[in-house]
Amino acid sequence: MKEPVFAGRPAPAQPDLQELIGLVARGDHEAFSRVYDAVCGPVLGLVRAVLRDPAQSEEVTQEVLMEVWRTAARYQPSRGSAMTWILTLAHRRAVDRVRSAQAASDREQRAALLDRTPEYDEVTEQVEASLEREQVRRCLGGLTELQRQSVTLAYYRGLAYSEVAELLAVPLGTVKTRLRDGLIRLRDCLGVTV
């Protein structure tokens, strides 16, 4: 059933995830199905941004969701929202995967990756998320070039800060601080509180 929408205020984008995770922890399949619906779009998009390969991205997305199922009882609301918890898991796994893929110096695999660069026009415009999404874009636009490059290379491409430094030809310490002050500026622009 749809939540009523109040004029002048965005409707809640998701069911109360935290509550749902509590139910999932007790083995509730229906609650898990709703968690899936709420998180799978951003999780898959994030994993795919990092990995690029559609098949691998779906595989890792499945792993993330299975981890949510398995470890729901360990989620600690005091540490952050359920969405943040799940997206952190997703980023972590995507980064691990992309780094191990790089380690395997398999030409074939690389060629395959190259051949399957995702079509970004597959990215959706989910109506309820679009306002927030626009805000994120706007706030990213408010970063300095180096902040934005550092943050996006680390987040969307899964690069270690040493790799970011090498790529942008700036000192390691500079990247560390740009990652921090870039995220701090984003936090303030988005009004994130925990």
Q: Which is nearer to other proteins, 7 or 58 (CB)?
A: 58
In sequence order, the 6+-apart residues with CB closer than 8 A to the CB of 154 are 160, 161, 164, 179
Q: Which is nearer to other proteins, 5 or 160 (CB)?
A: 160
* Distance between CA atoms of residues 36 and 132, nearest Å: 20
Token readout for 181 is: 């002050």
Q: Which is nearer to other proteins, 20 or 153 (CB)?
A: 153
Q: Which is nearer to other proteins, 3 or 145 (CB)?
A: 145
Question: What's the closest the beta carbon of residue 65 comes to other proteins, in angstroms?
Answer: 5
* Distance between CA atoms of residues 155 and 90, nearest Å: 11
Q: Quick check: 165 and 177 in contact, CB under 8 A?
A: no
Question: What's the closest the beta carbon of residue 18 comes to other proteins, in angstroms?
Answer: 13
C-alpha distance across the termini of the chain, in Å: 29
